[in-house]
Amino acid sequence: MTRVFFSYSHDDDAHKAWVSDIAQDLSRRGLDVVLDQNDLKPGLDIHQFAELAVETSDFVLLICTPEYARKANNRVRGVGMEISLITSEIYSGASDKFIAILRHGGHEESIPRFMKSKLFVDLRDDANEEPWEQLCQHLIENGPASQIGTLFYEALFPFDEARIHNQPRLPELRRFTEFVEFGQTENKRWYVIRRDPIRRDLATIFFQNPE
């Protein structure tokens, strides 16, 4: 399932509500949306939440306003922390996953410096739904190749105890980065259970029996 994370500034209640509305729209279309308003629970580490969200998402939508650009350019508070993580991935070659959405203001004042040369999506006019529909289509069509809807997965390789703590080798399991346990079923088939560090749901990977 394609995972989308929203990076934005809390400009005012109306802006937060707009972000929540488009996040809900993506969820209705079958995407896995990570939004601080819903997923950042009391007691969670804010920096770890942002780090995991950026790392495990297939796309990160940067909701650009003058205030967002100010915080991004000057590395202010939560936005600044997220931008540090984003730029680190961009410089490592993962630039396609980050998409700037122009919500308020002009290009010069609202798009962060490091994103100015990239094509952005203009969503300033709520009456024009075409840019949003095109973006949704892009997210759906360019997500992970394997859109498996269940949390039980078949590995195409044998179990290897030396690898169980590593990052999952299956692309569709990228977000299940927390190792939980491993063992054997009643019929002696090896399995590994991993947890999504944000949503806390579990995925079980069944491995091929060694030859």
3-state SS assignment for residue 84: helix
Per-residue pLDDT reduced to its tens digit, 16-67:
999 999 999 999 988 889 999 988 888 888 888 888 888 888 899 999 999 9
**Strands 98-102 and 3-7: what pairing?**
unpaired
Main-chain dihedrals φ then ψ at residue 73, nearest 5 degrees: -65, -30
| Across 2-6, 91-95, 126-130, 168-172, least confident range | 168-172
Per-residue pLDDT reduced to its tens digit, 122-175:
999 999 999 999 999 999 888 765 433 447 777 878 888 888 777 676 666 777
CATH topology of domain 3-141: Rossmann fold (3.40.50)
For the beta carbon of residue 103, count every other beta carbon within 10 angstroms: 23
Per the confidence metrics, is the pTM higher than 0.95? no
Query: Is residue 37 a contact partner of residue 20, using CB atoms and an 8 Å limit?
Result: yes
**Strands 178-184 and 190-195: what pairing?**
antiparallel
What element of type H or E holds 24? helix 13-28
